[in-house]
A = this chain, B = another copy of it.
Amino acid sequence: MQFEVVFTRKPELRSPVLIEGLPGIGHVGKIAARHMVRELRAKKFARLYSATFPPHVIIKKTGMIEEMKNEFYYWKAESEGQHDLIFVIGNTQSTSPEGQYLLCEKILDIAQEFGAREMFTLGGLGVGRAVDSPKVFGAVNHPRYIPILEERGVVVKRDGVGQIIGVSGMLLSQGKRRGIYGACLMGETSGFYVDPNSARAVLEVLTSILGVEISMEKLVKRVKDAARRVEEAAKLERKMMEDMGIIRREPTDDEMRYIG
């Protein structure tokens, strides 16, 4: 009753790797995963709805509503050394501790149904100040991923103890108990705005690990365009609000949004 999964197809996959990019700090993980889904022309195969998602809907520019949801995409390996991939992306995480936990269980159920035994979760790590050349930080649920990350310049060892809030961390924790191992890749970001530059840094590590090549130029361009569009829209909307008032705006994909 709390979760509803609708499959639109059931692809045959060989040991796919799960990639998670739900909304979080700086939208780093969401931007990265979505870019990869688009570049690889990954195919949607399932939608997940939940009573634990926020109790609202989004109105798009067209006037169509967009429901709160998570979506699953797959991509089939094209050459030796690559793995099939499953992506989970969407416009929200759950609104309660228990909702988050059960959401992770559902995501892992689906990943496991298609044979996934490995995962990478993507997110941002807020540092409270502008970052020009974002580092990528990593955390793992199996030691074998430490050298894989460190070879690619990811900062894994740290002074002191940290925390990963939300699905990106909980998937590692709950996945470990099912034998699904992997890492969380966190792009350094200010935490104040949407950060495609940080997403690019995360993607460079991820694609290197996966042996997949995707163009980053489109990401950079899309980011610039989006930034410009957001700015223009903000101006227009501010004007419109002065003229006639308007509904509370939902931050667009290109603006920062943090789901706690």
Interfacial residues, chain A to chain B (CB-CB below 8 A)? 1-2, 4, 6, 49-65, 67-68, 95-102, 125-129, 131, 135, 137-141, 143, 146, 149, 156-166, 169-170, 172-174, 176-177, 184, 186, 188, 233-234, 236-237, 240-241, 244-252
Contact = CB atoms under 8 A, between A and B. Distances in A.
A1 B169 contact: no
A123 to B, nearest CB: 10
A177 B5 CA distance: 11
Contact of A172 (B57, B163, B236): B57
A59 to B, nearest CB: 4
In the complex, which of the residues A64, A156, A247 has the most CB atoms of chain B within 10 Å of its own CB atom? Answer: A247
A138 B252 CA distance: 19
A139 B63 contact: yes
In the complex, which of the residues A59, A158, A184 has the most CB atoms of chain B within 10 Å of its own CB atom? Answer: A59
29 contacts: A2-B98, A49-B177, A50-B101, A51-B102, A52-B97, A52-B98, A52-B101, A55-B165, A56-B169, A57-B172, A57-B173, A59-B161, A59-B164, A61-B161, A63-B146, A63-B149, A64-B140, A67-B177, A125-B246, A129-B245, A131-B245, A159-B233, A159-B236, A160-B233, A160-B236, A160-B252, A164-B247, A186-B247, A188-B245
B250 A162 contact: yes
A190 to B, nearest CB: 9
B98 A51 contact: yes
Contacts of A101: 50-53, 55
Nearest to A242: B129
Given A62-B157, A63-B146, A157-B61, A163 B131 contact: no
Contacts of A184: 65
B250 A163 contact: yes
Given A64-B143, A160-B246, 8 more contacts: A58-B163, A59-B164, A62-B146, A63-B140, A127-B241, A131-B245, A160-B249, A163-B247
A248 B64 contact: no
Contact of A164 (B57, B128, B159, B234): B57
